Amino acid sequence: MSETLKAVSSAGTSIWLDDLSRERLITGGKSRNLELLVETESVVGVTTNPAIFSAAISQSSLYADDIRSLSQGGHGAESIITELTTADVAQACDLLMPVYQRTAGVDGRVSIEVDPRFARDTQKTIEQARDLWQKVDRPNVLIKVPATIEGLPAIRTLIAEGISVNVTIIFSVKRYQEVLEAFIAGLEDRAKKSLPVSNIHSVASFFISRVDTEIDARLKSIEGSTNTQILGRAAIANAHLAYEHFEAVMTSARWQSLESLGASIQRPLWASTGVKDPAYDETQYVIELIAPLTVNTMPEPTLIAVRDRGTFRGNTIAGNYSSARAIIASLTDHGIDIEEVAEKLEREGIDKFIKPWLELIAAVEAAAHQ
């Protein structure tokens, strides 16, 4: 097992794989087996999204028989997709159950996302999250809910109902603060009814690389700009400031009251950690985001890069808050509003998941009639 990956894990950053397919769940498939990654690469969790499932189902022959059988049984394309994806997630949950048990429910988690077309519909998000929770029926599943304005009340409701949630598509500290507030309010709602809070776990998926992609393009477009030293640094600074808020909440009397009841804090999860710009260190969105009680979910190429070329430097978040604020302030000086960037990326992020989801529906419809 890689010493660098072990060091990252020992420093408090859990390593999750941002990928899942039937190829990952069998021995001898086209992709490295998930069980092998757990044993050799310190992987302790899995995240999925509509794009991941679209690629998995469209590109593997392992789903063909089930698609035909379900179609013959009267299932439409969307129902078939639900059956396929929840089955894969349930199998991954079973595979990771020893990790879940060893870590007292903190890790060993597998995420499945609500239909991205519901991102602006609170009630439909709640209803499908409930359905997915019941259908997967595993204690270590996380239901992914977008951190849209409409998603915030859904998060509070689901947490209050005892459903563990992965909140996704977070791009700004302001929205992250609202997400953590919704999580805590949901636990408080539950506690007021004298219901247990110790069995609920949650992560908040804060996106990284897309922030730099957007901001770098804007910085490079500013005529005469010489402030190139902040290229590729905004996303990490943004995440550092989110963690600063996390630390403040952790020490608050409000949280400590819930913690005394057995509650577990919603951990920051660094998502979109594959570097998009080849000029940058391919490990930077892992190595620069190490701190206790965090998760980093990464595609396998990033995992391999960290294993083979990553230089572990311990906690790389604590003590960097002043420099992070200076970087964000420099963006403002250049006319770049981080909140406006986040709003744009949220809209694009939803669209980027809707498109492959619609493509998957079309592909399953076609396969069902072959």
> Per residue in 78-114, is it b (16+ CB within 10 Å) or e — as a string?
eebbbbbbbbbbbbbbebbeebbeebebbbbbbbbbb
30 CB contacts (<8 Å, ≥6 apart)? 23, 60
Residue with tokens 């072959």: 370
Task: State how far the Cα of 120 lies from the Cα of 293, in Å rounded to an integer.
Answer: 30
Task: State how far the Cα of 159 lies from the Cα of 295, in Å rounded to an integer.
Answer: 20
Q: Integer distance in angstroms from the first to the last C-alpha of the chain? A: 44
Task: State how far the Cα of 314 lies from the Cα of 295, in Å rounded to an integer.
Answer: 15
Determine the angle formed by the axes of helices 3-10 and 300-309, rounding to 10 degrees: 100
| CA nearest to 141, candidates 119, 158, 117 | 158
Task: State how far the Cα of 321 lies from the Cα of 315, in Å rounded to an integer.
Answer: 13
Q: Which residues pair with 17 in a beta bridge?
A: 46, 298
Task: State how far the Cα of 135 lies from the Cα of 156, in Å rounded to an integer.
Answer: 21
The residues that are catalytic are 144
Residue 202 amino acid letter: S
220-227, long-range: CB < 8 A, 24+ apart: 222/334, 222/335, 225/334, 227/330, 227/334
- In terms of Cβ atoms closer than 10 Å to its own Cβ (0-12, 13-18, 19+), residue 319 is exposed
